[in-house]
Every structure is written in C-alpha cells, then in structure tokens.
Amino acid sequence: MAFTINIYYTGRDGNARKFAEEMIARGIVDKIRAEEGNLRYEYFLQVDDPETVLLIDAWASRQALDFHHKSPMMAEIAALREKYHLKMRVQKFAEIN
C-alpha cells in the first residue's frame, strides 16, 4: 500500500530552509528520489511560517520506506537535522484502495 508522510521541519534563523538547501546541494535528495519505491520527495516553504519547511515524502510500500530508513544516508540526514537544530512534526497518510 502506498502512503505519504508530511514532515514539518521547524527551526530558527532560517535553519529549516538552510537544511533543505543543503540536502539538495549534497545530492541527498536525488539519492532518495532514486531509491526503489520512492514516489515523491519534495520540500515546500510555508508562506505564513518562514521558519518551517514541509517535506512531502511518498513511498510505494512500507518495505521501501524501511529499506530507506536502514540506509547509510539516514545518518547524514540526522546529522544535518542536528546541525540546524530542527524540530520535526510528522503526519502519515495511507492510500485507501
């Protein structure tokens, strides 16, 4: 079953945007998009909250996401979240057939 995860990254002093920009510049986003089962991986800026960036992350199956979570790039992502002192809020939406 496919599903989408919305992750809201919130920081201070533009750090959420800097995090997303560094994810893109380092090629991490392209690597995630190339993973088997990834359907979407996109960052969006919130008009009414400049300190929050929304990530829309969609996967074809739970197994694909589990494989992604076990990949070495998860350590890179965690280190960047720490570097920018970000808080996360997560929403998960399952596709209903």
The C-alpha atoms of residue 97 and residue 28 are separated, in whole angstroms, by 31
pLDDT at 97 over 60: no
Model pTM score? 0.91
CA separation (Å) from 90 to 5, 27, 36?
Answer: 7, 23, 22
Where are the chain's structural domains? 1-7+22-59+87-97
The CATH number of the domain covering residues in 1-7+22-59+87-97: 3.30.70.100
The C-alpha atoms of residue 84 and residue 47 are separated, in whole angstroms, by 20
Side-chain half-sphere CA neighbours of 7 within 13 A: 15
pLDDT at 74 over 80: yes
The C-alpha atoms of residue 77 and residue 30 are separated, in whole angstroms, by 13
pLDDT in tens, 15-72: 999 999 999 999 999 999 999 999 999 999 999 999 999 999 999 999 999 999 999 9
